[in-house]
């Protein structure tokens, strides 16, 4: 799958997005795995690496991974300011800003509630795409499917997390920060769909490069780079895993899939990633896998089936 992605060129398919092909579903599953593994990598990385340098490090690693592949494929990075403005915007809206505000918000928000708030991404994408993308209009079945999927996410993370919603002080600011991160992810989904047409490797590596420069500058302003000398080998490997799998390779899959299947379809990953993270935590760290995760997964899959029902009717 990754090898096929590396050799895909040319303009994206801007025609009708439905029905989705089997390859789209395979790429969606791969993207869920790549993004879902970030929780395990980050858990190891932040033990001795500051969160801001974890963010910058994953973008630097992603750039180091993708730039040589781009040059080896005979591609050239953009030379005009308009393309670089888009790439920088995608890096800011899709990586730097959401990672920063969500990390800040999680200082005051329990992880389960943060997961639910981030789960607003598909719903926000649905609304934004309806306004800005003529090919991705809201339909009753799609809206119902996304609501069912969100209900499944609440079951996965525990309905009790909703009781943590509060209207006071820093906790409220933290909740708004995580919700802002979800909205930024939604905006990034739509921005990626509307971005200028360019080869896949150029787009992915350009975003990583722009993000690496901006992310490093932000991290340096917060924490001196010299603190990385105290990082453990395990944490550095965690950062490398984040950069290679959850950032670099994920960017390739994300941009290819959003061009093929649309922003709304890609946003479904935000329902599935917490499930993958829970299963990965069970397999890797021996964390408890609760029955509600499996029940929530069933509800999420039902929601996806409902939202995509129109596709099956058109086949």
pLDDT at 18: 47
Which range of residues forms the domain containing residue 43? 28-314
* Percentage of the chain modeled with pLDDT above 90: 52
In a domain, residue 9? The reply is no
Total domains present in the chain:
1
In a domain, residue 135? The reply is yes
User: Taking the alpha carbons of 109, 112, 118, 120 in that order, is the dihedral positive or negative?
Assistant: negative
In a domain, residue 13? The reply is no
User: Tens digits of per-residue pLDDT, 41-62?
Assistant: 888 888 899 888 999 999 999 9
Task: Please calculate the CA angle 268-243-222 and round it to the nearest 5 degrees.
Answer: 105
pLDDT at 68: 95
In a domain, residue 179? The reply is yes
Whether residue 263 contacts residue 125, with contact meaning beta carbons closer than 8 Å, is answered with: yes
Confidence of residue 5 (pLDDT cuts 50, 70, 90): low
- The yes-or-no verdict on residue 296 having pLDDT over 90 is no
CA distance 19 to 25: 11
Confidence of residue 315 (pLDDT cuts 50, 70, 90): very low
In a domain, residue 1? The reply is no
In a domain, residue 49? The reply is yes
pLDDT at 314: 47
- The yes-or-no verdict on residue 210 having pLDDT over 90 is yes
User: Tens digits of per-residue pLDDT, 140-178?
Assistant: 888 999 999 999 988 887 777 777 666 566 778 888 888
Q: Give, to the nearest 10 degrees, the angle between helix 169-194 and helix 111-118.
A: 40
In a domain, residue 191? The reply is yes
Answer with the residue of higher pLDDT: 294 or 222: 222
In a domain, residue 17? The reply is no
* pTM for this predicted structure: 0.84
User: Tens digits of per-residue pLDDT, 82-101?
Assistant: 999 999 999 999 999 988 88
User: Tens digits of per-residue pLDDT, 235-285?
Assistant: 999 999 999 999 999 999 999 999 999 999 999 998 898 888 778 777 876
């Amino acid at each position: 799958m990754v090898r096929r992605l590396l050799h895909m060129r040319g303009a994206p398919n801007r025609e009708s997005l439905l029905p989705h092909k089997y390859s789209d579903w395979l790429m969606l599953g791969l993207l869920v795995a790549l993004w879902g593994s970030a929780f395990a990598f980050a858990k190891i990385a932040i033990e001795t690496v500051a969160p801001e340098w974890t963010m910058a490090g994953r973008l630097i690693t992603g750039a180091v991974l993708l730039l040589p592949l781009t040059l080896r494929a005979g591609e050239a990075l953009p030379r005009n300011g308009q393309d670089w403005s888009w790439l920088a915007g995608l890096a800011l809206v899709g990586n730097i800003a959401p990672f920063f505000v969500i990390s800040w918000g999680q200082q005051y928000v329990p992880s389960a509630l943060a997961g639910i708030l981030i789960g607003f991404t598909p719903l926000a994408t649905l609304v934004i795409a309806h306004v800005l993308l003529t090919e991705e209009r809201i339909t009753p079945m799609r809206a119902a499917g996304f609501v069912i999927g969100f209900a499944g996410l609440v079951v996965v993370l525990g309905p009790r997390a909703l009781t943590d919603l509060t209207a006071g002080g820093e906790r409220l600011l933290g909740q708004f920060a995580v919700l802002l991160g979800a909205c930024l992810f939604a905006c990034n989904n739509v921005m990626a769909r509307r971005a200028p047409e360019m080869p896949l490797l150029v787009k992915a590596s350009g975003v990583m490069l722009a993000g690496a420069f901006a992310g490093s500058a932000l991290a340096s302003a917060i924490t001196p780079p010299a603190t990385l000398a105290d990082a453990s080998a395990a944490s550095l490997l965690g950062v490398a895993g984040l950069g290679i799998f959850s950032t670099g390779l994920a960017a390739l899959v994300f941009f290819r899939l959003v061009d093929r299947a649309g922003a709304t379809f890609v946003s479904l990953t935000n329902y599935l990633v917490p499930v993958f993270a829970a299963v990965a935590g069970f397999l890797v760290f021996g964390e408890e896998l609760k029955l509600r995760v499996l029940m929530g997964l069933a509800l999420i899959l039902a929601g996806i089936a409902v939202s995509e029902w129109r596709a099956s009717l058109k086949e």
